[in-house]
Amino acid sequence: MRNHAEFRWSYWRYCGRQSARIFAIFSVGAVTFLGVWLLAGLVSPQEDPTVRSEAAMAFAVVVVLAAIGLTVRHAESDARLDPGLLCPWCNSPLAHLHGIIVLSSGNCPHCGERVLED
């Protein structure tokens, strides 16, 4: 069993990775928007800048939504990468919002068993 300090460190490290992933997703969207906007300006410089911006925004939104979908799809497997964020009794991930429950009660929110030492 882990103590509160070890679990807290693993949980905050997991939250930091998720925050970095969110920042990366929106950075990819911004770079995509800028790239498409500049490319559209090179291909047809006489076109209205508003139309060019709308097209670039639409393309960037599609890219960001695809990246968010991939992140959500792999969220549970990412939570299982750290063995300290798994319940030793039922093997359920203790990341996401469950980590806050574990930190406050010391018990697994799935099976109810004790997972943290006092």
Question: Where do the domains of the chain lie?
Answer: 4-105
Say how far apart CA 85 and CA 14 lie, in whole Å: 9
Instruction: Find the helix packing angle between 4-43 and 49-73, rounded to 10°.
Output: 150
Mean pLDDT of 75-84: 82
Quick check: 82 pLDDT over 90? no
Say how far apart CA 115 and CA 96 lie, in whole Å: 16
Query: What percentage of the chain carries pLDDT values higher than 70?
Result: 99
User: How high is the pLDDT of residue 60?
Assistant: 93
pTM given for the model:
0.76
Residue 118 pLDDT class (50, 70, 90 cuts): confident
Quick check: 114 pLDDT over 90? yes
Q: Using one digit for the tens of pLDDT, what is the confidence trace for 29-79? A: 999 999 999 998 888 878 788 888 898 999 999 999 999 998 888 877 888
Say how far apart CA 90 and CA 86 lie, in whole Å: 8
* Mean pLDDT over the full length of the chain: 89
Residue 96 pLDDT class (50, 70, 90 cuts): confident
